[in-house]
Chains A and B, each alone.
Chain A
Amino acid sequence: MVGVFFRLVRRELVLALRGGIGSLMAVVFFVIAVTLFPLGIGPELALLSRIAPGAVWVAALLAALLSLDRLFVADHEDGSLEQLMLGALPPELVVLAKTLAHWLTTGLPLAAAAPVLAILLNMSADGLVILIVSLLLGTPILSLIGAVGAALTVGLRRGGALIALLVLPLYVPVLIFGVGAVEGAVLDTGVRTNLTILAGGLVAALALGPLAAAAALRMTTE
Chain B
Amino acid sequence: MATRTQATTRRGKGGWASIHFFANPARFLRVARAVYPWAAGAAAALIVAGLVLGLYVAPPDYQQGDAYRIIFVHVPAAWMSLFVYVVIALCSIASLVWRHPLADLVAKSSAPVGAAFTLITLLSGSLWGQPMWGTWWVWDARLTSMLVLLFLYLGYIALHAAFDDPARGARVAAILALVGVVNVPIVKFSVDWWNTLHQPATISKIDSPSIDSSMVAPLLLMAAGFMAYYLTVLILRVRAEIASRRIRNLRLAQVSR
List chain A positions with a Cβ less than 8 A from chain B.
Answer: 148, 152-153, 156, 158-159, 162, 165-166, 168-170, 172-173, 176-177, 180, 183, 201, 208, 212, 215-216, 219-220
CA distance A41 to B179 in the complex (A): 36
Report the separation of the CA atoms of residues A152 and B148 in the bound assembly, to the nearest whole angstrom: 20
B172, A152: Cβ atoms closer than 8 Å: yes
The residue of chain B having its C-beta at the shortest distance from the C-beta of A173 within the complex is: B190
Q: Which residue of A lies closest to B180 (CB)?
A: A170
Q: Which residues of A contact B162 (CB under 8 A)?
A: 153, 156, 158-159, 162
CB distance from B182 to the nearest CB of A (A): 7
| Residues of B that sit less than 8 Å from A by CB | 96, 148, 151-152, 154-155, 158-159, 162-163, 168, 171-172, 175-176, 178-180, 182-183, 186-187, 189-191, 193-194, 197
| Contact (A216, B151) CB under 8 Å given A153-B159, A173-B187, A183-B197 | no
Chain A nearest CB, measured from B180 CB (Å): 7
Evaluate contact between A212 and B187: CB separation under 8 angstroms: no
Q: Write the chain A residue with the least CB distance to B154.
A: A165
| Total A-B residue contacts, Cβ distance less than 8 Å | 70
Nearest residue in B to A148 (C-beta to C-beta)? B179
- Can you identify 15 A-B contacts, CB atoms within 8 angstroms? A148-B175, A156-B163, A159-B162, A162-B158, A166-B158, A169-B151, A169-B152, A169-B155, A169-B187, A170-B180, A172-B187, A180-B193, A212-B179, A215-B175, A219-B172
- Tell me if A's interface is mostly helix, strand, loop or mixed: helix
Report, nearest first, the 3 A-B pairs whose CB atoms are least far apart: A173-B190, A169-B151, A176-B190
The answer to whether A166 and B178 touch across the interface, beta carbons within 8 angstroms, is no
Whether B175 pairs with A176 at a CB distance below 8 angstroms is: no
Q: Is the CB of B178 within 8 A of A220?
A: no
Docked pose: A1 CA to B224 CA in angstroms: 56
* Consensus secondary structure, chain B interface: helix
Please indicate the chain B residues that have their CB under 8 angstroms from the CB of A216 in the complex: 172, 175
Instruction: Report whether B155 and A165 are in contact in the complex, using a CB–CB cutoff of 8 Å.
Output: yes
> Smallest Cβ distance from A160 to chain B, in angstroms?
11
Evaluate whether A165 and B179 lie within 8 angstroms (CB atoms) in the complex, with A172-B191, A173-B187 already known: no
A153 to B163 Cα, complex, angstroms:
9
Contact A165 B151 (CB under 8 A): yes
Tell me the complex Cα distance, A201–B189, Å.
13
| Closest chain A residue, CB of each to CB of B171 | A219
Complex: A158 Cα to B186 Cα, angstroms? 29
* A166 partner, pick from B159, B189, B193, beta carbons under 8 A: B159
CB distance from B47 to the nearest CB of A (A): 31
Knowing A170-B179, A219-B175 touch, does A162 contact B190 (C-beta < 8 A)? no
Q: Once the chains bind, are B190 and A172 in contact (CB under 8 Å)?
A: yes
Closest residue to A209 on the B side, CB-wise?
B179
By a CB distance below 8 angstroms, the chain A residues around B151 are: 165, 168-169
Neighbouring A residues of B197 by C-beta, 8 Å = 180, 183
Assess the A219–B155 pair: CB atoms within 8 A: no
The answer to whether B155 and A166 touch across the interface, beta carbons within 8 angstroms, is yes
Query: 12 extra interchain contacts, Cβ-Cβ under 8 A, other than A165-B158, A180-B197, A216-B175?
Result: A152-B172, A156-B162, A162-B158, A162-B162, A166-B158, A169-B180, A170-B179, A170-B187, A180-B193, A212-B175, A215-B96, A219-B175
Q: Is the CB of B176 within 8 A of A176?
A: no
Q: A153-B159, A156-B162, A183-B197 are in contact. Are A176 and B191 (CB under 8 A)?
A: yes
Q: Which of B96, B152, B175, B194 contacts A152 (CB 8 A)?
A: B175
Per a CB cutoff under 8 Å, which of A169, A172, A208, A220 touches B172?
Answer: A220
